[in-house]
Amino acid sequence: MDSELASETSLLPESLLLGVNDVDPVFEQNADGRSPFLFTSDHYGRRLPEKLGKLGLPDSELDRHIAWDIGIAGVAERLSKLLDVHLIAQRYSRLVIDCNRPPHVASSIPLLSEATTIPGNEGISREEAATRRREIFDPYHRRIDEAIDRRARDKRPTILVSLHSFTPVYAGVARPWHIGTLYHRDTQLPPLMLSALRAEGDLVVGDNEPYAVSDITDYTIPVHGEARGLINTGIEIRQDLIADQSGQRQWAERLARILHGIEATLFGEVRV
Ligand SMILES: [Zn+2]
């Protein structure tokens, strides 16, 4: 028995990055949620694998938007509960590996973010980069793939919504939008989202602002949304609006109402 176990264990890939004190990169909530929406959160967390220390950065930098999408975790979890949506999120900092970048682009493991150099990312070998991908990026995207596969097998629709937040000031320039939709090839969901957000009356709504989706600067929407033919959009909420729990709750409730209405428009009826 012992020898069988030992030989099975030896078949598992050895972890070179994540150790016993590190958490699983993938966080999931409502895996059996009944909603047609599927939420992803690429920049949900700001954990660092113990082996990487603090990437050579002071805590003040690791608190900033360069490390994660401030506030989005609280919005995503509440929204997922309100609408019974499966949420798949990634717990490690985007400074370790950005889960919304193709792994071959330079910003996947950034040497510079806004005006901050990342000492722990300087001079890393191809093997070290591949390890970050294998232990953090791949499990997260594999889980999204599996979830979409399972829904397709069960003949359930999937509307992919990628949840993000953006810093109110970037490189010294203030951003006026409260919220923005981000999209590229989908022509169904982004217009519905834009018109619903504009109908709120009190919001400055970004149409592909502060970012637009592209195959070079994004991964989740092009790969899981567009390549698989799913209705999809990204949503970006300004971080100062969701910095505390009260803001997160208000935005989750607002978006729950809006997405519920969009579901009714797309499917002609609302689930009971
Ligand atoms: Zn983000």
For the record, the structure tokens of 124 come out as 């890393």
Work out the percent of the chain whose per-residue pLDDT is above 70: 94
Mean per-residue pLDDT over the chain, rounded: 94
> What is the C-alpha to C-alpha distance for residues 175 and 169, in angstroms, rounded to an integer?
6
Average pLDDT for 154-173: 97
> What is the C-alpha to C-alpha distance for residues 238 and 210, in angstroms, rounded to an integer?
10
Q: Does the pLDDT value for residue 36 go beyond 60? A: yes
Q: How far is the CA of 178 from the centre of ligand 1 (A)?
A: 15
**Exposed/middle/buried for 120, CB within 10 Å: 0-12, 13-18, 19+?**
middle
- Taking a 5 Å cut-off on Cβ, the residues next to ion ligand 1 are 43, 69, 164
Q: Which residues contact 228 (CB under 8 A, 6 or more apart)?
A: 148
Q: How far is the CA of 8 from the centre of ligand 1 (A)?
A: 38
Q: Does the pLDDT value for residue 66 go beyond 90? A: yes
The pLDDT of residue 15 is 85
Q: How far is the CA of 272 from the centre of ligand 1 (A)?
A: 32
The pLDDT of residue 6 is 46
**Exposed/middle/buried for 209, CB within 10 Å: 0-12, 13-18, 19+?**
middle
Q: Is 253 helix (H, G, I), strand (E, B) or coil?
A: helix
Which DSSP string do the residues of 39-78 spell out, in sequence order?
Answer: EEETT---B--GGGTTTT--HHHHTSTTTS-TTHHHHHHH
The per-residue pLDDT for range 79-105, each reduced to its tens digit, is 999 999 999 999 999 999 999 999 999
What pTM, to 2 d.p., does this model score?
Answer: 0.93
Average pLDDT for 225-239: 98
